A and B are shown apart, each in its own frame.
Chain A
Amino acid sequence: MALISTLGTVPAPALAIRGLAMARGYRTLFRDLDIDLAPGQVLQLTGPNGTGKSTLLRLIAGFLKPDAGTIRWSPVPDEVSPGEWLHYSGHHEGLRDGLTAQDNVATLASLLGGDPARTGAALGAVGAAPLAELPVEVLSAGQRRRVALARLLVAPRPVWLLDEPFTALDRDGQALVRQLIGAQAAAGGLVIAATHQPLDLPDLVHVVLGGPAS
């Protein structure tokens, strides 16, 4: 993963979550949630469906505002939007039908402050080089996932938020995701992944959401 080693341009921040509470509709998903994460650490989020894993990731990404509590990055000052320091990969790949894989990833690279010229190399690194010139609507779900992964490589960002990163991927693809997460952590980055698949990484922080109702 030679691409990730260029991460050094941005200092990896540490994450401190204090007393986080969030309700969706009338349901309290979690409250008094504290999480600490240092640079180079990987956090695995687990918990039954509907316990707020995706919501927590979207809170950390800054898409949602919490009902209570704080999400702080250091040394990133509070006034800077955390959005510019992180990658968010959700249920949707962020790819537009009608454009080729190459065009999609290059546009996202520009949008996210990366280098569109690295698109070819990034697609190669995720094993999607042969797909570059194909419109994304002809790709299978797993192939789309791979193309979406290339986004993580064209714009180096210290924080990765991955929601179910293994969905639709074959064995090779899943190995690739593990490899990418490992490389990101080794380069001093910070990864939060919501998944029940084993990550097989040393120094893994584990958070389980949604214990039994009290």
Chain B
Amino acid sequence: MNAATLYGLCSAALVGLGLFGAIVHPQPLRKILAFNLLGGGVFLQFGVIARRGAAAGMGGDPVPQAMVITGIVVAFSATALAVTLLLRLYQVSGSATLSIETQSSSESDGGGR
């Protein structure tokens, strides 16, 4: 087993963990974190593909590497937007939940729809 395969297995585990966390966590912030974990796993998978494509005197295929760099930046923008949405939801409704029951009860507290 070489290093690329090893990190490939690691990335597979990360994707699974991220997926699990994104589904079972009730708090949206933890979902965002888990989603970033999932993203990290996918990026690492790209890294493994890049490493295996080492050729022409390069340590890895530069195209997947460049895609990961773009991906990291886009993932950051999405995270920033999601976090801001969440904070605004908390500001407006006094709770940060995606659950429908809790949401509607806090709405009726604030004078209904």
Whether A associates with B in a native complex is: no
B residues lining the A interface (CB < 8 Å): none
A interface residues with partner B (beta carbon < 8 Å):
none
